[in-house]
Amino acid sequence: MTEIRKAALSDAARLLEIYDYYVKNTAVTFEYDTPSLEEFTARMKRTLERYPYIVAVRDGKIEGYAYAGPFVGRAAYFRSCETTIYVDRSVLRSGLGRVLYEALEAELKKMGITNLYACIGYPVASDEFLTTNSADFHAHFGYSKAGHFHKCGYKFGRWYDMIWMEKIIGEHMEQKNFTIRHEEKEDYRAVENLIRESFWNVYRPGCSEHYVMHVLRNDPAFIDELDFVMEKDGELIGQNMFMKTVIDADDGRTVDVLTMGPICIAPELKRKGYGKALLDYSLEKAAELGFGAVLFEGNIGFYGKCGFNYASEFGIRYHDLPEGADASFFLCRELQPGYLNGVTGVYRTPAGYYVDDADVEEFDKSFPPKQKLKLPGQLF
């Protein structure tokens, strides 16, 4: 049975042992000399700060590894990355490579990556040092050739070609269809109505989210710089906002974090990529302001595409939730890699989210009447 797990720096010696064969005996890598353990470990550390790095373990032994890294390295390529995979020569053609790549691709989708690229040595004619096996493997996994460079690598006294192969794993949203801007006071009523339309009868008969938004704008924890609306053809179609909160750490510290929401997209435009575009934009702006992490309640099926994971994976617990209770709704994403390293504790929901039902009812009277329905799947 194969176990796929995140690589640890303590795995470096075994991974280097796998890589060493390819450096010394093949032109699969164009590296001439096997890096030192110190250098290889440093490479792993740099990768782990931002990208997934995984290993495949069989019978307690690492038999292969795969990781992603930046493509080209310019800011505009942030939705693209380069992939790398090596398996021990004793398990070639055993299916391990596909298992590793499937797991790596799943992690990259969670990050919102859309384009994968593989840089592959390619023989002018197959020889004892290089065949087309790597290119064939990538083709079987859905990659296609995007570029061919001729006799650009020289190793073992002969010239080799290099090809780039590409795989598209995500939807490319055209930003020309919408704009994202700061919410202004004149937007308030329209935004509250948009939220009401989006959440009505979803989690409960009627909804409270539009009133929550109304209240939170005046809360000290509200972050005005991170209060966004999305427009399409002059109409408001979405919104998102953030609040400051904290984790009460088990070691006594108070760790500053964010929460967010309500976040919504007009009902008729859901599942068309607008929500992800709005979320990606607002998370990027939060990171630019230096905030370290976001925690909130949501569906991993959607938010996982934007880099969120279960908060339990970070050692963060939801307040007032009994031990052993399902916490799969409680999600977390680091905005600064490693921000939550060494942190375990309890997340504190900002008090402003707790509103009185009577106040919600009174506020809702100022909107056009809508029928409240009790529907399957509602939480309340």
- Model confidence at 226: pLDDT above 90: yes
Helix axes 37-48, 12-25, angle to 10 degrees: 110
pTM of whole model > 0.75? no
pLDDT of 176: 60
In a domain, 380, yes or no: no
127 with 254, same domain? no
129 with 236, same domain? no
- Model confidence at 78: pLDDT above 60: yes
* More confident call, 303 vs 173: 303
β-pairing, 144-155 with 158-168?
A: antiparallel
237 with 324, same domain? yes
pLDDT of 160: 98
Say which range, 227-231, 260-264, 303-307, has the weakest mean pLDDT. 303-307
In a domain, 373, yes or no: no
- Categorize the per-residue pLDDT at 219 as very low, low, confident or very high, splitting at 50, 70 and 90: very high
210 with 359, same domain? yes
pLDDT of 269: 87
pLDDT of 62: 97
In a domain, 307, yes or no: yes
Q: What DSSP designation does 187 have?
A: G
In a domain, 69, yes or no: yes
pLDDT of 380: 72
In a domain, 121, yes or no: yes
- Categorize the per-residue pLDDT at 181 as very low, low, confident or very high, splitting at 50, 70 and 90: very high
- Model confidence at 175: pLDDT above 60: no
Question: Where are the strands (E) in the chain, listed by range?
Answer: 2-6, 53-58, 61-70, 80-87, 115-122, 144-155, 158-168, 179-182, 228-232, 235-240, 242-249, 254-260, 264-265, 293-297, 309-310, 316-318, 330-334, 345-348
- Model confidence at 300: pLDDT above 70: yes
- Categorize the per-residue pLDDT at 304 as very low, low, confident or very high, splitting at 50, 70 and 90: confident
pLDDT of 174: 62
Owning domain of residue 357: 175-364
How far apart are the C-alpha atoms of 247 and 295, rounded to whole Å? 10
In a domain, 356, yes or no: yes
In a domain, 376, yes or no: no
141 with 199, same domain? no
218 with 359, same domain? yes
240 with 141, same domain? no
36 with 122, same domain? yes
What are 240-268's pLDDT values in tens digits?
999 999 999 999 999 999 999 999 999 88
64 with 90, same domain? yes
16 with 162, same domain? yes
DSSP output for 306-371 = GT-EEGGGGTEEETTPPTTS--TTEEEEESSTTTTTT--EEEE--GGG---HHHHHHHHTTS----
Domain end among 111, 140, 168? 168
How far apart are the C-alpha atoms of 350 and 273, rounded to whole Å? 29
Q: What DSSP designation does 176 have?
A: G
- Model confidence at 103: pLDDT above 90: yes
28 with 144, same domain? yes
Mean pLDDT computed over 51-69: 95
* More confident call, 300 vs 218: 218
What are 284-294's pLDDT values in tens digits?
999 999 999 99
Give me the number of domains the chain comprises: 2
pLDDT of 307: 85
Alpha helices in 123-265 (DSSP H): 133-140, 188-199, 209-216
206 with 150, same domain? no
Q: Mean pLDDT for the chain? A: 93
How far apart are the C-alpha atoms of 293 and 332, rounded to whole Å? 7
- Categorize the per-residue pLDDT at 173 as very low, low, confident or very high, splitting at 50, 70 and 90: low
What are 205-215's pLDDT values in tens digits?
999 999 999 99
In a domain, 304, yes or no: yes
Output the domain CATH number for residue 307.
3.40.630.30
Q: Are 274 and 178 in contact (CB under 8 A)?
A: yes
- Model confidence at 126: pLDDT above 70: yes
Domain end among 168, 193, 215? 168
* 206-to-48, 149, 265 alpha-carbon distances in Å: 44, 60, 17
